[in-house]
Amino acid sequence: MMPGAWGRVWICLATLQMLCQCWAQDDVPPYFKTEPIRSQVHLEGNRLVLTCMAEGSWPLEFKWLHDHKELTKFSLEYRYMITSLDRSHAGYYRCIVRNRMGALMQRKTEVQVAYMGIFEDGDTSLFVSHGDAAVINAPNIASFPQPQVTWFRDGRKIPPSNRIAITKNNTLVILSSVAPDTGRYYVQAVNDKNGDNKTSQPTS
């Protein structure tokens, strides 16, 4: 090989080494531009899209977890979508992002699903002697968040008084029954997140 050719080879090798060093210096491990909010509430039946807002040297790969269980394998998809939420989707979600420089786990976000089911069957009749106490339990209803419950008798709202009390678990207590207490009692439940309202079967 000619002397000048050797010089050109060494120049090429030196240039290649410099380029490799530049590439190595430009490698950036993954990092998050923003972290998700700690808790979020969505309505049952709605669509949910979670995003993993990460940066770093490409290619970046993403994986999603739900309550520490793997939802996806590593891929280039940075979003996770649920087309129709139900209560089984509630829980903690987070993503893991990685590139050739390392991996990073996102802060978890809690997804809460607002829903309301139907009232379970309860007592349909109650007999109480004059002057005795009457206790009417509100039938159970599955709901998130817990609904606002209102008691009615024959279509009229029952306000608490010195003779009628409503406990924290929505039990209606009549301390001393009188003839005007006779009627059809029922409750109405309202979920203030999704606007659902349900009415129980009456007790008479």
CATH of the domain at 193: 2.60.40.10
Do 93 and 135 lie in a common domain?
A: no
**Average pLDDT of the segment spanning 55-74:** 97
The three-class DSSP label of residue 160 is coil
Q: Lowest-pLDDT range, 6-10, 74-78, 109-113, 117-121? A: 6-10
Query: Whole-number mean pLDDT of the chain?
Result: 89
CA distance 103 to 101: 7
13 in any annotated domain: no
* Residue 87 included in any domain: yes
The torsion of the CA quartet 27, 30, 33, 35, rounded to 10 degrees, works out to -170
pLDDT range class, residue 12, cuts 50, 70, 90: very low
pTM for this prediction: 0.77
Residues 111 and 33 in one domain: yes
The whole domain housing 53 covers 28-115
Give the CA distances from residue 97 to residues 70, 103, 106, in Å, rounded to whole numbers and listed in that order. Answer: 13, 6, 8
96 shares a domain with 38: yes
* Confidence check: pLDDT of 138 > 90: yes
Choose the final residue of a domain: 86, 115, 144: 115
Q: Do 98 and 130 have their domain in common?
A: no
Alpha-carbon distance of 55 to 158, in angstroms, equals 58
Of 93, 115, 137, the last residue of a domain is 115
Same domain, 75 and 132: no
Residue where a domain terminates, one of 98, 115, 132: 115
Residues 107 and 149 in one domain: no
Q: CB of 91 within 8 A of CB of 65?
A: no
Closest of 84, 83, 81, 85 to residue 95, by C-alpha: 81
Residues 35 and 89 in one domain: yes
